[in-house]
Structure 1
Amino acid sequence: MNVQNTTPFPKQGIPEQVAFHRTELGVILSLYGRMVAAGEWRDYGISSLRDMAVFSVFRRTAENPLYRIEKRPKLRNKQGQYSVVGIDGQVLKRGNDLKTVLRVLERKLIRAID
């Protein structure tokens, strides 16, 4: 009689999809809330793909995203796993610290007061 060692849990290792962690979403949604209050952004979308997670920011729902905040864990040791991509596909900022990368978008909140 053969005894097979099967476990009810899947193999630990490569995840099937990349997603934002709760603390990462907290930082992103904090910035999103401030930009909504300033009237700059109106909607967002989250995508969890096999090799990256994307937080897309929209001015209006039916438009292309103004910015994409991407998380690519495979680039952690090379260019940094977080990046902010503009509407034209240009990478605006890249790095391993999410708060530092998002500073490029916080400049939009700073306005001169008359």
Structure 2
Amino acid sequence: MNSLTPFPGHGQPQDVVAFHRTELNVILSLYGRMVAAGEWRDYGISSLRDVAVFSVFRRTAETPLYRIEKRPKLRARQGEYALIGTEGQVLKRGHDLKAVLRLLDRKLIRPVD
């Protein structure tokens, strides 16, 4: 969702990409399950001009385990949502956020010994 947000010290509002409430519900639902499983412990959200980023961390001081990115300019091409790994590799990209995040849902399913 694009919203006009003025930056402090600037008279002109700038376009900023942000996650919509329904998108955040999907992401935070997964985040809650991963926290309960002991996999994730912290997150950060960034809203920039071209991209919105939801970063997840195992520990606060580390680099993100995963970044969930929303790039509306890629909507007509490979999809506006992307799951990025620790090393910056694109793990999954698509038009449907739930389908992109399904890759992480599989990590919650563990074989019972």
User: 1:99 offset after TM fit, Å?
Assistant: 0.2
User: 1:39 offset after TM fit, Å?
Assistant: 0.2
Identity of counterpart residues, as a percentage? Answer: 79
Which has more radius of gyration?
1
Whether 2:38 is the aligned partner of 1:34: answer no
User: 1:54 offset after TM fit, Å?
Assistant: 0.1
Q: Deviations over 1:63-105 (max 9, x none)?
A: 0000000000000000100000000000000000000000111
Partner of 1:78: 77
Whether 2:95 is the aligned partner of 1:96: answer yes
The residue identity in structure 2 corresponding to 1:110 is I
TM-score (norm 1): 0.86
Query: Partners in 2 of 1:30 and 1:109 — Cα distance?
Result: 13
Partner of 1:112: 111
RMSD between aligned residues: 1.1
Structure in which a larger fraction of residues adopt strand: 2
Q: How many residues align?
A: 101
3-state DSSP of counterpart to 1:23: helix
| Structure 1 residues not aligned, in runs of 5+ | 1-9
3-state DSSP of counterpart to 2:15: coil
3-state DSSP of counterpart to 1:16: strand
Q: Deviations over 1:33-55 (max 9, x none)?
A: 00000000000000000000000
Runs of 4+ that moved beyond 2 A: none
Query: Partners in 2 of 1:86 and 1:29 — Cα distance?
Result: 18
Query: Partners in 2 of 1:16 and 1:78 — Cα distance?
Result: 21
